[in-house]
Structure 1
Amino acid sequence: MERRISFLYVERAVVNRDNNALTIADKRGIAHVPATTLAALLLGPGTRVTYAAMALLGDAGVSVVWTGEKGVRYYAHGRPPAKTSRNAEAQASIVSHQRRRLECARAMYSMRFAGEDVSRATMAQLRGREGARMKRIYAEHAQRVGVYWDRRSYDPNDFESGDPINRALTGANAALYGVAHAVITALGFVPSLGVIHSGTDRAFVYDIADLYKAEISIPAAFDAAADPDFDAVKNVRRRVREKVVEHRLMERMVKDLHSLMRTEDDPDSIDVELMLWNELEVIAAGINWAEPEGIDL
C-alpha cells in the first residue's frame, strides 16, 4: 500500500480490462494502467466500467469511488489486500475500552501538536487546543497567499453556496478523506470505528485525515484559491495529489495507522486461514467439531 498511487481520477471514459491491467478509453485513445499500482480509482461523470474491470479491481484491493463533479463521495470499495481480521480486532479493542481510547486520542492530538505533552489533557482541553491551532493555520495560509479569509463556512448540501476558499477547502478535504478511506480499508481497519469521531460510517476516516490536513489539504486549498485559473474541483484535486507525493503521505499513513492501533505491518496478512473463536484460543475452521456419537454433552 505504501508504494501505490494515491488515486487516479477518470471521467467521460470507458474502463475495461486487458489481462492484469485496466484500460481507460476515451476520444484520445486507450491508456493501460496496472491495477496493483493504484490505491483508489475515482470514477467521475460520464464513466462506464465493465464487470471484468471491477473484478480485477476487487482482486487487487483497489478502492473504487463514484464521484460527482463537485466533490468526492465514497460509495464502494473492492476487497482489501489485507485478508486478516487482526487489525480490525485491535481497533475494536481500543475503541471499546475507555482508557485505551483516551490514550489513542491523546496520541492523535500529540501528532498534530508536534509532540507536545498531552498525557494529562482531557478531551475538552484537546478540542480547545485543536480549535485554536486550526484558526491560526487558516490565518497563516490566508496571509501567505493573499486570499481573504473570514471563517470556515460551508453547506454540505449546497457546494456552490460557499466562497471560493471554502469551496476549495471542501474539495481538498474530500479528496484527502478518499485517500484515508482507501488506506484504512486496504489495511483491514474499520472506517466506522472512530476514536475521536463517532456516529457515522466514516468516523475513523475523519480521525486519520485530520492528522494531515495542516500539511496536505489546507495549503493545497489556499494555493488553489489564489490561482487565477481557480477551479474548485480540478485545480484543488491536482494540488492535493502533489502534496500527497511531496509528503510521502501513503507511506506515512500506513506507519501511523499501525503505530496508533498498536499493530504490526505483517506481510503474512495478505494470505491467512479462516479460524473459529473459542473462549481461550482460536481453533481451526473447516472441521466438523461434533462430539462422537454416544457421548453425552
Structure 2
Amino acid sequence: MSTSAEPDTQRSRTDARRRLAAPTVAMLPRIADSLSFLYLDIVRIHQDDTGVCAEVTSERRGTETLYLPTAALSCVLLGPGTSITARALTTLARHGTTVLVTGAGGVRCYAAALPDSLTTTWLERQSRTWADDTKRLAVATAMYEKRFGHGTVPPGTTLAQLRGLEGQRVKAHYRLLAQQYKIGRFRRAYDPASWDTQDPVNLALSSANTCLYGIVHAAILALGCSPALGFVHHGNQQAFVYDIADLYKADLTIPLAFSLHASTNPEAQARRSFRDGLRLFKLLPRIVTDIQDLLDPGTERDIPDPEEQLVDLWDPITGVVPGGTNHGADR
C-alpha cells in the first residue's frame, strides 16, 4: 500500500539529481585539463540532433561518426581537410570553446573564432602589466629566468642589459651545438630575400620556429590574451607570441635545427620532425601555465569556487563589483 510520502520522496530525489546536474563554475573545464585542446583534420564537423560530431570517411571503413565532448573543450584546432558547419560553430561558441584554424598538427595558426563568453581576466592582467614599465620589466626578467634559471639576473638589471645577457647565452648555446655536430662556426641569419642561399641549420631553425609560433599563438588566443602586447618584443601583432616562444626554443627548435645540418631538404624535414616529435597536448597546457605564472606570479590556481560570479562589473574606486545585482538602489 502506497503512502503520501512516496511521491514527496521521489520528488525530493529528482530535485537532488537536478541540483547535482546543474552546471556550476567549478564544473567548467580548466584550460590545462587533458581535454582542453582537441586537434582534428580531414574530417567533416556538423551538428545533428544529438550534438556536434566529426565524420571520418575512408575507403576501408566507410564513414564513422565521433561525437565531440563540447562541454569539456576549451579549444578545438581545425587542421587541413576539415570542414565545419555554422550550426556546429554556434554550439561550440555557446559552450565557450575557442575554434582555431591551424596547419598540420596544429603547428601554424591562421585564424581564430573566439566565443563572447571567453573570460577577459588574463587579457586585463596582461594589459595592466604591459602598461606599467616596472611590471613589464619584471615579466621580462621572469621570462629570462624561466629560460636560464632562477637567480641568473642580477638585481637592478635594465632591459638593455637583459637583452645582452640573453644574446650571450644564446650564442653560447649555438657554439656548443656547433661543436657537438662538428659544423664549424654558426651564425644565426634570417633573410627572406636570399632564402635559398642560407645554410641548412638556419633554414631548419626558421621552419621549426614558425611551427612553434603557431602553437604558442593558439594557446594565447585560447587563454584570451592579446598576441600583440609583448614584454620583450614590440611593434608587431605577434610580439607576445615571440616572447613566449623564446621560452622553448632552446629545448625544441634549436637542437632540432642543428641535427638537420646535413639535410638536403631541411625546411620540410624540420616541420615533419617537429610535428612528429612534439607532444602537442602536453606543450599547450604548459604554455598556458607559463603565461599564467608570468602574468600572475606566486598564485596557486585551482578549480574556481562554485559560487563565484561568472560576470563582474568594474569600478575605478572599489575595483570589482558583483554582477547579477540591481544597483539602482545604490544611487
> TM-score scaled to structure 1, two decimals?
0.75
Which of 127, 148, 162 lines up with 1:92 in the alignment?
127
Distance 1:157 1:291 in 2: 66
- Do structure 1's residue 276 and structure 2's residue 313 form an aligned pair? yes
Q: Corresponding residue for 1:15?
A: 44
8 Å Cα contact 2:108/2:212 also seen in 1 = no
Distance 1:146 1:247 in 2: 34
Q: How many equivalent residue pairs?
A: 285
Equivalent runs, 1:199-238 vs 2, <5 Å? 199-226=235-262, 230=265, 232-233=267-268, 235-238=269-272
Q: CA deviation at 1:212?
A: 1.0
Q: Corresponding residue for 1:187?
A: 223
Equivalent runs, 1:150-165 vs 2, <5 Å? 150-156=186-192, 160=196, 162-165=198-201
- Do structure 1's residue 254 and structure 2's residue 258 form an aligned pair? no
Distance 1:251 1:55 in 2: 25
* More divergent stretch after superposition (27-36 vs 175-184): 27-36
Equivalent runs, 1:50-199 vs 2, <5 Å? 50-55=85-90, 58=93, 59=95, 61-67=97-103, 72-79=108-115, 83-115=118-150, 116-146=152-182, 150-156=186-192, 160=196, 162-199=198-235
Q: CA deviation at 1:107?
A: 1.1
Distance 2:119 2:221 in 1: 12
Distance 1:231 1:61 in 2: 36
Please tell me the residue identity of whatever aligns with 1:249: L
8 Å Cα contact 1:106/1:118 also seen in 2 = no
What secondary structure sits across from 1:83 in the alignment? Answer: coil
Q: Corresponding residue for 2:24?
A: none
**Cα gap change, 1:91 to 1:38, in 2 (>3 Å):** closer
Distance 1:208 1:274 in 2: 29
**Cα gap change, 1:50 to 1:159, in 2 (>3 Å):** farther
Distance 1:185 1:158 in 2: 32
Identity across the alignment (%): 34
Q: CA deviation at 1:211?
A: 0.9
Distance 1:142 1:33 in 2: 49
| TM-align CA RMSD | 3.9
Distance 1:247 1:48 in 2: 22
Distance 1:125 1:255 in 2: 27
Instruction: Provide structure 2 residue ranges, at least 5 long, that are not aligned to the other structure.
Output: 1-30
> TM-score scaled to structure 2, two decimals?
0.69
- Cα distance per residue 1:171-224 (max 9 Å; x no partner): 211121122122222223222221111222221111111111100121223334
Distance 1:168 1:33 in 2: 38
Please tell me the residue identity of whatever aligns with 2:232: I
Distance 2:329 2:201 in 1: 68
Please tell me the residue identity of whatever aligns with 1:283: V
Distance 1:97 1:131 in 2: 25
8 Å Cα contact 1:84/1:269 also seen in 2 = no
Instruction: Provide structure 1 residue ranges, at least 5 long, that are not aligned to the other structure.
Output: none
8 Å Cα contact 2:52/2:88 also seen in 1 = no
- Cα distance per residue 1:101-159 (max 9 Å; x no partner): 11111111112222213332111111112112222222333343455763222235776
8 Å Cα contact 2:108/2:215 also seen in 1 = no
